[in-house]
Amino acid sequence: MYLFDIDGTLLNATDAVHYFAFCDALTELAGRSLNLDGVTAQGNVDNGILRDALALAGVPDHQWRPRLPEMQQRMCAFVTRDQADLRLQVLPQVPEVLDHLRAKGAILGVATGNLEGIGRVKLAHAGLLDRFHFGGYSNAHEFRHEVFKSAVETARSLTRADASICVVGDTPADVRAAHSNGLDIIAVATGIFPLATLQAESPTRAVSSLAELLIHPL
């Protein structure tokens, strides 16, 4: 089984639709203009980004946590409405790698910081959604290791409790989250982090792009 991150691993976005969905939800909740300035997004998850942005803006937990489902729904609706503006680049050899793994009988899932309503729109827009058997999304989680744990539970429920699972991701946070769950991790340097930075986290394997997995198969 393989669990793939989305952004920076399967595809890169050159638009700001997801970003503006955050800004819209944050502004609606706070009643004043808010954005993601000063918030770390890479390796974070959507709920964590909302949490960090609101903390930075001085909005206390008790004001926003009861409204988190409303914020999630607003973000997903925003991306769905503006999906025609998505500019997504499927990274090199991604479809070929996914098809190669499926041909070998592998079960493929996603383990992403995206909310489900956003991640599925991105995958569908990029023509990749039908290659995955299931998804692990961040709707109920604020940290990446929690997303991975939930995705693993789903994955093993589809096969067996001792099924071998490997994560594929592009950030140091992916590597750490995989390690915390006892999972193998292939780190791919197609996001903002260079190969050396990923190698320093001691992944199971580190590659410059997923295309390398066709030259040196899994």
The domain of 37 spans: 17-85
The CATH number of residue 107's host domain is 3.40.50.1000
Banded model confidence at residue 138, pLDDT cuts 50, 70, 90: very high
Same domain, 129 and 77: no
- CA–CA separation, 49 and 36 (whole Å): 8
Same domain, 165 and 185: yes
Same domain, 96 and 168: yes
- C-alpha to C-alpha distances, 158 to 12, 90, 93, 140, 151, nearest whole angstrom: 29, 27, 27, 20, 11
- CA–CA separation, 174 and 185 (whole Å): 8
Same domain, 67 and 99: no
Q: Which residues contact 35 (CB under 8 A, 6 or more apart)?
A: 22, 23, 26, 53
pLDDT digits (tens, 9 = 90+) for 33-57: 999 999 999 999 999 999 999 999 9
pLDDT digits (tens, 9 = 90+) for 150-174: 999 999 999 888 889 999 999 999 9
Count how many domains the chain has: 2
pLDDT digits (tens, 9 = 90+) for 98-134: 999 999 999 999 999 999 999 999 999 999 999 999 9
